[in-house]
Structure 1
Amino acid sequence: MTQHLTTDTVAEYIAALKASDRPGSFVTCHRILPEIPARTAPATRPWPRAVQEVMLHAGVGSLYTHQALATDHIRAGRHVVVATPTASGKTLIYNLPVIEQFLHNPETRALYLFPLKALAQDQLATLNALTAHWAADARPAAAIYDGDTTAWFRKKIRRQPPNVLLTNPEMLHLSILPHHEQWTRFLAGLSFVVVDEAHTYRGVLGSHMAQLFRRLERICTRYGAAPSFVFSSATVGNPAELAANLTGIRPVPVLESGAPQGRRHVVFIDPPESPASTAILLLKAALARGLRTIVYCQSRRMTELISLWAGSKAGGYADRISAYRAGFLPEERRDIEARMHSGQLLAVITTSALELGIDIGSLDLCILVGYPGTVMSTLQRGGRVGRAQQESAVVLVAGEDALDQYFMRHPDDFFERPPENAVLNPHNPVILERHLECAAAEFPLDVHEPWLTDTAVRQAAAELENTGLLLRNEDGTRLLAARKRPQRHVELRGAGPSFHIQDMETGAVIGSVDGHRAFRETHPGAVYLHRGRSFVITGLDTAARTITAVAANVEYYTRVRGNKSTEILQVLDTKTAWNTRVCLARLRVTDQITGYEKRHARSGQMLGITPLDLPPNIFETEGLWFEVQDAARREVEDAFMHFMGSIHALEHAAIGILPLLVMTDRNDLGGISTPMHPQVGRPCVFIYDGMPGGAGLSRSAYEKAGELFASTREVIAGCPCETGCPSCVQSPKCGSGNRPIDKDGALFLLDAMRRCAPPPHEATGIVPVQPHSRHAETQQQATTAKAQPVPEPRMNNRFSILTPQSYAVLDVETRRSAQEAGGWHKAHAMGVSVAVLYDSRTDAFTAYTQDNVPEMLLRLAEFDLVIGFNIIRFDYKVLAPLLPPDTPWRLDALPTLDMLDEVKKCLSYRISLDNLASATLDAPKSADGLQALAWWKQGRIDEIAAYCEQDVRITRDLYLFGRRNGYLLFTNKAGQKVRVPASWQA
């Protein structure tokens, strides 16, 4: 049972803090947020008597104004988003209408989605408590369906679905939507979809969720359900827009809270020493007064370090402090939550993992070690204290980060600044394609269904067709998935598959890390902290997605080094800000980690650099860049400032301050500064979304480019350091170790940019990137070959494949089988029984025996294109020994279309000529290769020639069909006729 302290305890703690020499002398702001009384209102339509009893049983005499308004809309069948502070009673908003609807119709179903399993456990207990006084058979049934649910209970839930199913996005993605036929009763009765903690669905996860919700809506439509969506969110700047981006629907926003709030102290501290050391002092003083405290850190490493240091210095309180973060095993997290809620723990030290509404009881003090990055997160974390309306306190301990220092110098801006907008990219092309494939696997996509009317979706579907992951049916009206369970290959969180971290000594899994961070945080040699213990990473197996580590007491930490480059793929928009051209574009980024630094844990002094040999991380994303005009560059150089150091410092400062404008973490962004970008022809600074496809972050930053320049200048000019520090122009993740950096040069450059005349309104002059296509190498070969004086055939290039004036079709039958020749790799030893060549110029088929094959081979050089089926890997290998020795070209230099190869490139597996011919032309092969070998031994050459000519005729007709229609047909494993794109369509 939680015991609340008297208000004097919190007030006395704050008074003692301010009166102390350390850290009191470093307090930059103390503001008291006054107590706010409750505002209540009745429902527009009276609740049924049973629901009124539920509220009375829960101690709810009347609803807060926002609860009454939101439930009015939900009961009217409208979509609603509620964005009010923590502990404002949002749970009641969706539970009451669900209970009411259950009373009207016991077949009502509701889907509750939570980003964390612990939240589902809390909400199940809350829902059950509301109707605990009802008879057992009269209550709405509720059950959790997640990774911890046993297989037996999962089967029972599917057969007898509860009225309320509580789950998480992963289970919806992997277990419910792919197996919707097993959920027909639940889906047909689905009336509500509740999306709790909706503000967490931003960035990459938000892009995934936008497609997951569209898949859910599509399934609901199939079963005749049209559920109302209820979004519950922390206070963000654009809740309705966020919900609309997630689902495509625009809900009614409910934003004004009527909930009460106790008196709250907010204190800003800017210590000269480590913020961790100051946090430990604050925590010790809180423990001595019995204040129930939560300490938020900005990283896993800081969480573990503070937990370790506090535990060693806390004396008798050591066993009442625990760390808590993502990467802990589920059973570890559940134990900490229970101990915190019961009061056994007085303090928990955590990352953002406890920012969400997991019930760990009512807390008195929140210590923020570093600014959380957004006003929204700060309010959300601070909202964990004072939930029982008691007096509480939030203390922000600033670090060296630019945002921390900005608010230390401008505290009023924090209190006046509205919460940021939650940003996501609902049309991230990488993510969209993956979910389109999943949707087609759930049931085929109709080309006329509403989802495919969007241009971005149609483009993604076309790309999936081109790569063979979506297959169009015979009449072209539906798209089918080529793979059976593509959902297994799509992870909703992080930028790649998760890696498990394993203790080599015990074999136990001690944590996990997503693929995007694996090379940076858990490379060989990296120091990894877990529950107060330090480990050194010994191995990283990308194939098995496992990381091995050994326990080690080390006095250093590690930081990666590397280099990056960027290619501009497509300019999306261009504008001028601060007399500077700013562009929004699709980019290809190559991030190469080259090594890591070892730095002393306390002093930060570099101890050494160790090289690493890791594969580069190459991805396409969205980003912005701004150009530095020649006049501004000359001004910097004429002032004898370091130009590269200036643009490098400017890049760091802009990324550091960008979270002031866009809801993001600087770790979600990347940057590159270059004194001369080869495509632009000028110095450039790039800022981009650090994940494949982009998350909409740099797109939002582009809209605020002028404000970004102004804020960046203010941060640099306002920092009291002389040469640059982490509070202004240094970055903790700089791959070059923050060298070169010129703080004065960055400030001078910003002013010079603004003094310059605006750039002319002209095209950007971007040099296009050469496409990465399978024909690029042959195009290069063509250029080299044409420079040679000897006669050459028309070389293989994309133009000749698409528009041949003349073409030949070739097939070869051999004298010996692969077994007789010694294996398929010895095709050159198989010999020729008959070869047939079709000439499009004369419309004639000519048969050749081995003796006159050399004559046929010389004819091949006359054609714009040679066509065959498995011609490159087989026919040419068989024929190669028969090419006259003085021929100045090789067979593999001929302009060749291998239809088997083209189909395999699209589908990633082989389709037989007989399958294609039967499905496309209704003309199966007349025989097979084994029969032809038997005929050779019997001397039946004419029959071999007839069979070979028939194969050539089929191959020609398939080529012409594909050229006219853009596809061929084949029969897949499910017995369906489907299309495969013909890459040679004119």
Structure 2
Amino acid sequence: MPPNDDTSPLPDAAAPDECTIAAYVAALIDSKRLGHLVVHHRILPAAPAVYADPMRPFPRPVAGLLAGRGIGRLYAHQARATDLTRAGRHVAVATPTASGKTLTYLLPVLEEIIKNPDSRAIFLYPLKALAQDQLKAINELTAGLPESARPTVAIYDGDTTAHFRRKIRDNPPHILITNPEMLHLSLLPGHDNWSTLFAGLTHVVVDEMHTYRGVMGSHMAHVFRRLGRVCRRFGSQPSFVFSSATIGNPGELATDLTGLPVETVTESGAPTAARHFLFINPEQSAATTAVMLLAAALRRGLRTIVYTQSRKMTELISLWIREKAGPYASRVSAYRSGFLPQERRDIEAAMASGKLLGVVSTSALELGIDIGGLDLCILCGYPGSVMSAWQRGGRVGRAGRESAVALIAGEDALDQYFMRHPAEFFDRPPESAVINPANPVIAAKHLECAAAELPILLTEPYLADPAIRREAESLAARGLLLRDKDGTRYFAARKRPHRDVNLRGSGGQFTIEAGGAVIGQIDELRAYKETHPGAVYIHRGVSYLVKSLDIPERRVVVIPGKADYYTRARGQKTTDILEVLGEGSVHGVPVFLGRLRVTETVTGYERRSTRGGQLLTIVPLDLPPMIFETEGLWWVIPQAVQAELDKRLFHFMGAIHAMEHAMIGILPLLVLTDRNDLGGISTPLHPQVGRACVFVYDGAPGGVGLTRLAFSRAGEALTRTLAAVAGCPCETGCPSCVHSPKCGSGNRPIDKIAARYLLELLMSGKLPETEPCRPDCNEQPQANEPQATSRPKGKAPARFGVLDVETRRAAADVGGWGNAHKMGISVAVLYDSGTDEFIPYSQDELPALYEALAHLDLIVGFNILRFDYKVLDGAAPLNHRTLPTLDILERVHARLGYRLSLDGLAKATLGTQKSASGLDALTWWKEGRLDEITTYCKQDVAVTRDLYLFGRDNGYLLFTNKAGKIVRLPVEWA
């Protein structure tokens, strides 16, 4: 809700010394309007630097470079990290923002380049803006080196012109700065063009490693493994150097990403300036308070960043501050993902130059993009993790100046938890990041890419994980991976599957268009909920109304329009249990981990007043359901517990619904995520379990390991859920405990008192022994279930036939292939398995042929549906739709997406080939040589029959792919 008056809660500065952070904080605490809302104020004291020397001195050029920059000694963590990197170890450096992590990888790389000018390094950054910053920093740092020792450096990303891309490929620089997408889309698939780079690659630097978690981290685990495969081909074994914000498991995450042993450096030796940390629990909304604090900071000339939790709130605060900031209104801008690249760069430059005093951002500015020195960070709502809060707060005070971070609580459960327990925020360790490389949706895409880059040996480490091997087998069964003739290697069926992979999501992207121009993008799952017809969409302070959502074209069309309301989607969800991956109990309460299929349907949307959030109306929608598979955990509520709540006349559905919401709200204390990455369903009777269940699942298709980690800490999850419900002072439930801001049913029904009683009963440990409640998954279809790529000999239909037709006229004679019915019959040959005979028919004998076809259990042909039947029907009417037909060419096309010739399949599979061609048969017809046509046609029929039998008995055919390799094509004739 926007501010409703112009009263400033803080007095304006009267003198320059009142424009300091200390004066700003003192004025805030003394403020009559806001002072009493500050529930905690802590000053983190300044800390001196801790220095150390490397184990052995750097060579003279590197040492001179440091001296020229006024760096006499390295910080302790820099010395330790460079020692490990110089020794060829894989290293993860996880220290606070602005602790000098760049030197930990740049110094060893420069040393290697000086020693060996043929060496190369890849520096990987998740954002283009970070790459630009790094190029500038490297050039400034190396400017003092002699020209002969100065490394060449270049950026290779989507903005690099075709001309410079070609130059960089032909002569790769010593340091290639790029991003995950270019590594995935260009370098790896085109590795033959990058032989100089990969053959000399000694270091791979991965900056902002903590961003490679969840969906993106699961993608990157495969990208790094693919990189390792390409490096081995060129004989290189680069050292990985990871740079990260402080997280709970940097070494484990780096190892999960690469499959390599990684050593960690986590103790920072960098000095820190004093920093104020304020916890503010507002009486009005967090956004209203943020606007007041930002306006006061602008009037004092304090450079400020405001972080919000959503794109929409970023735009709203930017809109409201323009009304309150007076002459400073033009010096504030929104910044978020969804902006076009040039828009973001303009904002970054304006902030760095001082043209802008304030920026309102989503997490898009959480990383180390250079926007200049900042004084104040305002967190409009808890960011969802301790790690993220420290990372965002680390953006201020970089020049050694005193700074402040103000955490303004929202209504969310974790926000209020820390308002009640502020000490725990400072005392608890940062959360652990999780990824799931075995996510079947993600693994399938990268296995295709890997096989397209280099054939995958069935014995290589990439397939060592049983889940990855099963996915490869599934892809082979679907014809997307092709085994070679000996069955020892996989080839990709497609040459370039890479462009179908979005590294930052497991679903697709929708474009958002206004007036024919693209103004933004949104991922598929969010598109249904945020850009449905009638939704209010805000971009850079301008309100739009969604006119249409074109799902097949992945396009959203919006039109400008002011609205005094915002929209919120409503919907319903169901879940099917596909597979149980783990089971246990907490205080006797059964809890399971498994693979789920979630079906979510957006049924309508609410219109709520911008001022106050009052519900105005509910508008129905008719959208198709979103169906995806993921991982999740579920609690089974014992029958005795449900009976006890019913006896006490509690609202049971309201109790389990509230438990679901509270658990989702509290899980980010255990896992590095936020509640928007999780989903939940509560049901009073799940058909597969036969009991009431509470589900919490990963919101990304395939799952990214969030609930897998939560399952391993199920006892703590249940304990903290009860604490969150019992500790909230509200009476009937609120967003701080059991209400969810994204509940599809509008938080109905919800019963907080019943939920507390339910959780206390579950935690009591006094439950009677429960009957078995393992779900029955037998009736659920197993999507992505692996299938064998070869099969034992099967049983053919009782009587099958194989048919081929030769014509009197060519396609050119009748006006094209669409007029096949005019071509006429020279001869048709039918093989009958019942008599083991090849029977020829002339055009006059077609009634006898049709009679013979009617007695067969299956008719096999090659292009029979699109050609042979049409030719026959033109000569004598034939109702072929009633005939049981197998068209081998049609099945091949369905598997591969392109057609193969009968001759090509015969050569690779049977070691034989056709005796002539259709053109030969047309010539023979004109010359009256029917016997030769018949012989040729019989041979085609025999080849088609033998292909059918080979595929039936082995489960595959062989063909020569575009790379000249004989590979298997899985077939299923059923």
**For 2:111, what is the secondary structure of its paired residue?**
helix
1:154-173 equivalences in 2 (<5 Å): 154-173=165-184
Distance 1:824 1:595 in 2: 49
The structure 2 residue matched to 1:575, chosen from 563, 576, 584, is 584
Aligned match of 1:744: 753
User: For the residues of structure 1 that align with 2:784 and 2:402, how far apart are their CA atoms?
Assistant: 65
The amino acid that maps onto 1:748 is Y
> Of residues 952, 957, 964 in structure 2, which corresponds to 1:968?
957
Counterpart of 2:334 in 1: which secondary structure?
Answer: strand
C-alpha distance in 2 between matches for 1:128 and 1:166: 12
The structural deviation recorded for 1:189 is: 1.3
Change (3 A) 1:938 1:640: farther
Aligned to 2:888: 899
Alignment correspondent of 1:789 = none
Cα deviation 1:542-562 (Å, max 9, x = unaligned): 444433222222111111122
Aligned residues, how many? 950
Counterpart of 2:798 (choices 798, 801, 806) is: 806
Q: Secondary structure at the match of 2:429?
A: coil
Q: Residue 15 of structure 1 corresponds to which residue in structure 2?
A: 26
Q: Using a 3 Å threshold, how does the CA distance of structure 1 residues 325 and 835 change in structure 2: closer, same or farther?
A: same
* Counterparts of 2:807 and 2:203, CA distance in 1: 70
Residue 710 of structure 1: aligned partner: 719
3-state secondary structure, aligned to 2:77: helix
Moved more, 600-609 or 836-845: 836-845
- Change over 3 Å in CA distance of 1:806–1:509 after alignment to 2: closer
For residues 815-853 of structure 1, give each alpha carbon's deviation from its aligned partner in whole angstroms, at most 9, with x where no partner exists.
787979999889899997766554546544445642433
Distance 1:329 1:70, change over 3 A: same
- Structure 2 counterpart SS, 1:722: coil
1:910 aligns with 2:899: yes
Superimposed CA distance per residue, residues 391-442 of structure 1 (whole angstroms, 9 cap, x where no aligned partner): 2211110011111111111112211111000111112111112112112222
Instruction: Output the amino acid matched with 1:899.
Output: I
* CA positional deviation for 1:203: 0.8
Provide, for residues 698-721 of structure 1, a one-character-per-residue CA deviation record: whole Å limited to 9, x for no partner. 111111111111111111122222
Amino acid across the alignment from 1:735: G
Question: What TM-score results when the alignment is normalised by the length of structure 1?
Answer: 0.90
State the Cα deviation string for residues 488-515 of structure 1 (Å, max 9, x = none): 22111123333332221xx443222223
Measure, in 2, the Cα distance between the counterparts of 1:237 and 1:761.
37
Q: 1:927 to 1:159 in 2, by over 3 A?
A: closer
Equivalent residue number for residue 253 of structure 1: 264
Cα shift readout 1:367-407 (whole Å, capped 9, x = no counterpart): 10000000000010111112223222111100111111111
The reply on whether 1:97 has 2:108 as its aligned counterpart is yes
Deviations 1:727-772 (CA, angstroms, capped at 9, x unpaired): 1222111122222222222222223334423535675433421457
Residue 296 of structure 1 contacts residue 352 of structure 1 at CA under 8 Å; is this kept in 2?
A: yes
Distance across 2 between alignment mates of 1:925 and 1:847: 18
* Residues 662, 697 of structure 1: 8 Å contact kept: yes
Match of 2:940 in 1: 951
2:285 matches 1:274: yes
- Which residue number corresponds to residue 377 of structure 1? 388
CA–CA separation in structure 1 for the residues paired with 2:921 and 2:587: 76
Do the aligned residues in 2 keep the contact of 1:86 with 1:383 (CA within 8 Å)? yes
Partner of 2:276, secondary structure, is strand
Whole-Å Cα distance in 2 between the matches of residues 757 and 867 of structure 1?
63
Letter in 1 for 2:901: S
Matched letter for residue 46 of structure 1:
P
User: 215-224 or 225-234: which moved more?
Assistant: 215-224
For residue 812 of structure 1, report the CA deviation from its aligned partner.
4.6
For residues 521 and 675 of structure 1, the distance between their equivalents in structure 2, rounded to whole angstroms, comes to: 29
Determine whether 1:859 maps to 2:887: no
Tell me, yes or no, if the aligned pair for 1:808 and 1:837 is still in contact at 8 Å: no
Distance apart, 1:810 and its partner CA: 2.4
* Within-5 A mapping of 1:453-532: 453-504=464-515, 507-532=516-541
Mapping for residues 309-348 of structure 1, pairs under 5 Å: 309-348=320-359
Cα separation, partners in 2 of 1:621 and 1:286, compared to 1, 3 Å:
same
Question: Conserved in 2, the CA contact under 8 Å of 1:298 and 1:351?
Answer: yes
Q: Matched residues, percent identical?
A: 60
Give the 5 Å matches for 1:811-826: 811-813=803-805
Name the SS of the counterpart of 2:510 in structure 1: strand
Q: Per-residue CA shift, 1:175-199, capped at 9, x if unaligned?
A: 2112222211122111111000000
In the alignment, is residue 616 of structure 1 matched against residue 612 of structure 2?
no
Distance in 2 between residues matched to 1:641 and 1:227, nearest whole Å: 62
Structure 2: distance between partners of 1:91 and 1:653: 41
SS at match of 1:459: helix
> Aligned letter for 2:846?
Q
Establish whether residue 407 from structure 1 lines up as the match of residue 403 from structure 2.
no
Which shows bigger deviation, 353-362 or 717-726? Answer: 717-726
Q: Secondary structure at the match of 2:160?
A: coil
Q: What displacement does 1:617 show?
A: 1.9
Hey, what does 1:536 align to over in structure 2? 545
Instruction: State the match for 1:728 in structure 2.
Output: 737
Flag the 1:186–1:749 CA change in 2: closer, same or farther, 3 A: same
Contact 1:834/1:850 (8 A) holds in 2: no
Kept after mapping to 2: 8 A contact 1:382/1:394: yes
Distance 2:439 2:109 in 1: 34
Q: 2:671 aligns with which of 662, 678, 688?
A: 662
Shift of 1:968: 1.1
In 2, Cα distance between equivalents of 1:907 and 1:150: 34
Does the 8 Å contact 2:799/2:856 carry over to 1?
no
**Closer, same or farther: CA 882–484 of 1 in aligned 2, 3 Å:** closer
**In the alignment, residue 279 of structure 1 is paired with which amino acid?**
A
Matched, 1:294 2:305: yes
- CA separation of 1:747/1:808 partners in 2, compared to 1, >3 Å: closer, same or farther? same
Give distance in 1, aligned partners of 2:160 and 2:966: 40
Give the distance between the partners of 2:234 and 2:679, measured in 1 at CA. 44
- Which residue type is aligned with residue 811 of structure 1? L
The answer on whether the counterparts of 1:237 and 1:422 sit within 8 Å (CA) in structure 2 is yes
Q: What is the aligned partner in structure 2 of residue 979 from structure 1?
A: 968
Cα shift at 1:678: 2.0
Say if 1:809 and 1:728 are closer, same or farther in 2 by CA, change over 3 A.
same
TM alignment of 1:560-959, pairs within 5 A: 560-754=569-763, 755-760=766-771, 763-770=774-781, 802-804=794-796, 806-813=798-805, 836-840=829-833, 843-847=836-840, 849-853=845-849, 855-861=851-857, 867-871=860-864, 897-927=886-916, 945-959=934-948
CA distance in 1, matches of 2:471, 2:796: 30
* Partner secondary structure for residue 685 of structure 2: coil
Is contact 2:509-2:521 (8 Å) kept? yes
Letter in 2 for 1:191: T
Question: Scaled by the length of structure 2, what TM-score is found?
Answer: 0.91
Q: Residue type of the partner of 1:127?
A: I
**1:339 Cα deviation (Å)?**
2.3
Per the TM alignment, residue 591 of structure 1 is displaced from its structure 2 partner at its CA by 1.9
2:252 alignment counterpart: 241
Is this contact kept in 1: 2:474–2:784, CA < 8 A?
no
Per-residue CA shift, 1:615-667, capped at 9, x if unaligned?
32222211122222221222222222222222222211111111111111211
Q: In structure 1, what is the equivalent of residue 44 of structure 2?
A: 33
- Give the match's secondary structure for 1:583: strand
Aligned equivalents of 1:599, 1:879: Cα separation in 2: 66
Please give the alpha-carbon distance, in whole angstroms, between the structure 2 residues aligned to 1:878 and 1:508. Answer: 50
Q: 1:943 to 1:140 in 2, by over 3 A?
A: closer
Which letter does structure 1 place at the counterpart of 2:660? Answer: E
Q: Deviations over 1:197-254 (max 9, x none)?
A: 0000011111111111111111111111111100000000010110011111121100
Aligned partner letter, 1:395: A
Judge conservation of contact 1:813–1:929 (CA < 8 Å) in 2.
no
Structure 2 CA distance for aligned equivalents of residues 218 and 766 of structure 1 = 38
Q: Which runs of 5 or more residues in structure 1 are unaligned?
A: 775-797
1:436 counterpart letter in structure 2: L
CA distance in 2, matches of 1:127, 1:294: 27
The equivalent residue for 2:405 is 394
Give the gaps of 5 or more residues in structure 2.
1-14
